Chains A and B, each alone.
Chain A
Amino acid sequence: MIEYKNVTKTYGANIGLDDVSISIDKGDFVFLVGPSGAGKSTFVKLMLKEIEADSGSIVFDGTEITKMSNREIPRLRRNIGIVFQDFRLLPRKTVYENVAFAMEIIHVSQRFIRKQTPQALSLVGISAKAGKYPHELSAGEQQRVAIARAIVNNPMVLIADEPTGNLDPDTAWEIMELLEHINTRGATVVMVTHAKDIVNRMGKRVIAIKDGRVTRDERKGAYRPDEDEAGAAGALDGGLPVL
């Protein structure tokens, strides 16, 4: 599904990713962990083709996106749902409109939008608040809306960039259950996180990145003590949006 081969990306003297090879299969649930500035966001930005790799190749669903033209970026992104730490909902649109908006953008019929949007809202359990504006919702509810928006177009991959960073532990756990549910419905989920207890409790695949290199890639992994410290540091500046 997603295949990074010897990908290197530098920002001047700073290293983003250094000769990284990662393969993520369809239906995987992957935690991407590591200290801030380790290269997690570079990994995500490369997948969205927000930045270009210096060398190496990235293949997404059979297409080599490192060779893709800029015109094709929107099509690529329609196959990738994204959830951010800070939700990024449109403040002047209602919950319903925020989700429908993701569909309007890709020119699907109004009829399909009217059918699909309530389904996505009910999947994330926010149907009752469809007419509310983002500022009237709690943080956890806003994140649910963001997830509904990310999945409404049935993307192959859902990227969650610190989705629980702004949530209290209980709410964070609800969001994790939701992501797991979405994963069981078939979407590949890549979650960038610092939340140690969540990673440990989920027991999913863990890819640790440090200084631009993959230091660990385990099925049913956990956060390690040496990564824990960095994680705590990351949690403090967790307010920075990674993208």
Chain B
Amino acid sequence: MDETRLKERVAALLSEHDPAGDRLEFLRARFDAGLAWVWFPEGLGGLGLGRDLQQLVEHELAHTPQLDVGVQGIGLGMAAPTILAFGTPEQRRRFLRPLWTGEEIWCQLFSEPGAGSDLATLATRAVRDGGEWVVDGQKVWTSGAHHARWAILVTRTDPDVPKHRGMTYFICDMHAPGVEVRPLRQITGEAEFNEVFLTGVRLSDDLRLGEVGDGWRVAQTTLMNERVAIGGAPVRRGGGMLGPVLSTWRERPELRTHDLHQRLLSLWVEAEVTRLSGARLREQLAAGQPGPEGSGMKLSFARLNQVLSGLEVELDRDLGYDDWTFRRSDTVDFYGRGPGYRYLRAKGNSIEGGTSEILRNIISERVLGLPSEPRIDKDVPWKDLPR
């Protein structure tokens, strides 16, 4: 389908459904018209087109009801591509539409207190009981668990084989008995994440995503999409974390020093070349030649956010902090609130979604082809690993 026909389709949607009317009704109609994510297959909110054509749709529908990408981020960026890749036709039909419209919010049950960078060592057990699975364990760093209707969940189903082989991936019903969500307070004072305790949670086998024992491969799809989502957003020149620093710099000349000036100029250059690298990466993606640069974007983004927000606190010379109140935040905003908040929140950027150390391993092994460190955990049954 070419651009003209896509535009006609958008026009047809707009003529049949009033974008100023009921928000949900409009979003459902947009999904059914295949204009949700055009690169998805027909019948699942898409038209089987190139991903680059989505821009056109977004442009044409910019004045219509929009998704809440903050709250829906995990569903859209991580759950949806995984369901598309590994879901049964039944699962795709059941879950993708309300996921996209935002009627159902998703969260991610991956990390555990004992399994962070080494996610494959996770210990949450799922044991088959007839047509159901019984899940017991503890997950952590779960954003949005308190709004979520569903979760993507990785569990251990076979402790007797090496760790990468004994995992199974599920869709978890967050309303099921035995699911308990507790806020996890961060160094910023607020609770953006949760701990989730799973005690005797019963999940029907039709909530399993992928084969039994294939959970690691399914989880890789989710994680690659997470890194693209975190590091891949377009930024304008002088945008991102540079934005608030430059505003203060320009508006309050009395705060400027020579030392800060030198450092800020270096960071301005680094932010600009990082932005250009991201623009180049998106051009490659649009041309259908995804490059390895993607793995580097999150690494650069974490460093820049941390150094720039640190510089901003120093520039401000303000010993205060906007608000330590313990409260839940609905969405994540790296650039919101005051400089102190931004500084503290940015510390998480090199930990969440793959630590910077793990990303360096990925770059050095998958991009540069360097050998892995000798490992002692690859051929040992999970139950015999030291922990």
On whether the two chains bind one another, the answer is: no
Q: Which residues of A contact B (CB under 8 A)?
A: none
Q: Which residues of B contact A (CB under 8 A)?
A: none
